[in-house]
Structure 1
């Protein structure tokens, strides 16, 4: 198990959760690949997207349903400032994860986290566990709790 996956497992264990990781034979780097591998709807895949606050410069984690794109105006309203894509090297340095394997938990330092309310419509969702082919299944309400996330609408309906 990679160092990144060990951090995710330690964070789950610290939260009192006994969750098994599933290592897929193929990449789960995109939501579509993950949905196929996990045999679920694309909406059940948690995309962990990291943005940088334009004013604060702080990283922000948006947990978004795999079938949604982020409406930036809605995300910025939820976060309270303008957002821009964070540099991939900075993401790796500050979270310990590479793009495609960013987990909702297990970061080097906690990030302000916002969760797409659509994810809460499902009984179970699948998230990256620190690698581009390692995932775990979790109740989205538990994910909301352990990440201390705020809900937001990722897209206009």
Structure 2
């Protein structure tokens, strides 16, 4: 197992007292469609974690996380409105790595170095099992959507287009 995927698995055990089995794929799972093909599920069952930077308002400069269904596109204006910011944009990859502790393409929805305010796409609740990144672009883990929202301390709200 890749060391970062093993680290993710260990962190979930230590922080949440939960055993999440990490699945690794040679083909990679960088996109929701690729992850769904590798896992053998619908693209909508992929729980993509998107880290967004806010500007303006009380949270100026803050990073927030959005866990969205692989079939949905995050509406950055809706994210800004939800968090009381003037605007929102995709987070800078190096800042994400520094603050969250994981690199884009493999950012898991949980086990961040710094806790981020997190929103959760209600579309994910339509599935019995969803799959999130497990620390690398080629690793995912399976979990019930309700459990994932709870572990991420996420607010369920639709901020997609």
Gaps (5+ residues) in structure 1? none
2:13 aligned with 1:8: no
**Counterparts in 2 of 1:85-96, with a 5 A limit?**
85-96=90-101
TM-score normalised by L of structure 2 = 0.90
TM-score normalised by L of structure 1 = 0.92
What secondary structure does 2:27 align onto? coil
1:65–1:118 Cα contact (<8 Å) kept: yes
- 1:107 Cα deviation (Å)? 1.3
**Counterparts in 2 of 1:5-154, with a 5 A limit?**
5-13=5-13, 14-55=15-56, 56-81=60-85, 82-154=87-159
What secondary structure does 1:130 align onto? coil
Judge which range, 12-21 or 22-31, deviates more: 12-21
CA deviations over 1:47-88 (Å, ceiling 9, x no partner): 110111102211101101000001223222222222112111
CA distance in 2 between partners of 1:71 and 1:77 (Å): 10
Gaps (5+ residues) in structure 2? none
Runs of 4 or more consecutive aligned structure 1 residues displaced over 6 Å after TM superposition: none
What secondary structure does 2:79 align onto? helix
- Give the count of matched residue pairs: 156
CA deviations over 1:77-101 (Å, ceiling 9, x no partner): 2222221121111111111211110
- 1:6 Cα deviation (Å)? 3.6
- 1:130 Cα deviation (Å)? 0.1
CA distance in 2 between partners of 1:122 and 1:5 (Å): 24
CA distance in 1 between partners of 2:129 and 2:83 (Å): 25
Judge which range, 4-13 or 34-43, deviates more: 4-13
The CA RMSD measured in Å over matched residues stands at 1.5
